[in-house]
Structure 1
Amino acid sequence: MKRLALSAALLLTLSACATTSDIEATRYQIDQVNRQANARLTEVESKLSNEKLLEMVNQVESLKAEVAKLRGEVEVANYNLQTTQKRQNDLYNDLDGRLSHLESAGKEAAAQQAASQPASSQPAAATDTQTSPDYDKALNLLRARDFAKATAALSLYIQQNPNAPQAVDALYWLGVAHTAQRQYDAAIEIHRRFAEQYPDNPKAPDALRNVANCQRDLGQVDIAKATLKRLIKLYPSSSAAQKAREQLTKM
């Protein structure tokens, strides 16, 4: 009986010892898992931090590139604005000079010009010095640089007086008025038609040069060069041809 009790006690003791060992082993495993989890978490956090930092660096570089691009666009816009303003001023100065010349031209010049023109069923060319209230009104609008109203007045005059002596010159000035408003397509069509229909008109070389300038402002540089070369070939001694040569060296 004593032996049985001793065996039972020994078995219980061994059982208790085995349970404690298992618990310690389990605790050790849990600690190991926790350490591994913490290590992985630290690694992930570090990786995420580096990725965020890299993302921020990329964003900063992207912003720098965008700012540089915008600065370049602003510089180009300023250059284009200055160039456009210069061209506009040149156009205004040219317009003022031509209109002043018209005002100072006398009847003798008109008579000589009329005598030099061959007889034709088409309207007589370049007789701006002849009087016509509607035509003078249109020219006055040009002098005042009221180009929108000048365009309307010239168009109406040509429509109502297709055979009038000033109809040809009105067509030329209509193209100038369109150019001043940057209506380049309309100006090209009008000045090209003027140069083709009235090649002997004193304004024909200037009409071709105006066509080239409008083509240039539309970005059609190669076509503009071809027009300037055609102008030089057709009217080599004209002042417009001299200006065309100077333009070609800068294009």
Structure 2
Amino acid sequence: MKLNKVLFGMILSVSTSCVLAAEPAPVVDISQHSSSNSSSKSISERIESLEQKMDARNKAQVNVQRQLDDLQNELNELRGVTELHTHQLSQVLERQRELYQELDRRVSQALTTPAPVATPTYNASNVNDVVYSSDVPENEAYDRAVNLVLKERRYEEAIPEFKAFNLKFPNSAYAANAHYWLGQLLFNKNDLTAAKTEFEIVYNQFQDSPKRSDSILKLSIVEEKLNNMTRAKNLLKELIAKYPTSSAAKLAKPRLANLP
């Protein structure tokens, strides 16, 4: 009986030891904790780096936008200057066009009236009657000659003015026009030989002038009046062929059809 108690006590002691040996002691993973802190720190640094990059990008976009605004302002200023110059040029061209139309209208009216008695052509002394100072620019000289015709209607005085202009400014930008209008004035006086000379100058020396087509038409009319019918026809044919869309060509077609 006593022996059984001793055996039971030994078995109980062994069982308790086995149970205690089976339960492991709690362990803390230091490496895993350190890795978690490192990962959290890395994400924070990345976020901070991205924020810095975004700030730099926003600043760059602001600078680019400011430069674009400056360029747009400069472009608007240039457009304004261009529009102003275009308007001024249009005014100058319109003034010249009105002058030419008015003179053409008056010449056309003169052609419908009986021709006056032929008068002698102007010689060098007529030209010398007009005195030009050395500081008179060619624009003022040309305008003065034109105004004698359009504004003051002093046609006789306009002839020596145009002659003097052509002598003083032979290479002027207005040279072709001046010779043409001089030819018109001489034609109205029935001074056909002198008028022919002026129209021939425009025809031969100013190939690119806008007045060349008109000069060809007037030259053909002069040739017709001088009974040079062959050349009159050839000039009209040349005019129609070279300047088919010009107003002079439109007038030339019926004239050519009516020539014998």
TM-score category of the 2 structures, normalised to the smaller one: 0.3 to 0.5
- Give TM-score scaled by structure 2 length: 0.45
TM-score by length of 1: 0.47
Please tell me whether Structure 1 or Structure 2 has the larger radius of gyration of its CA atoms.
2
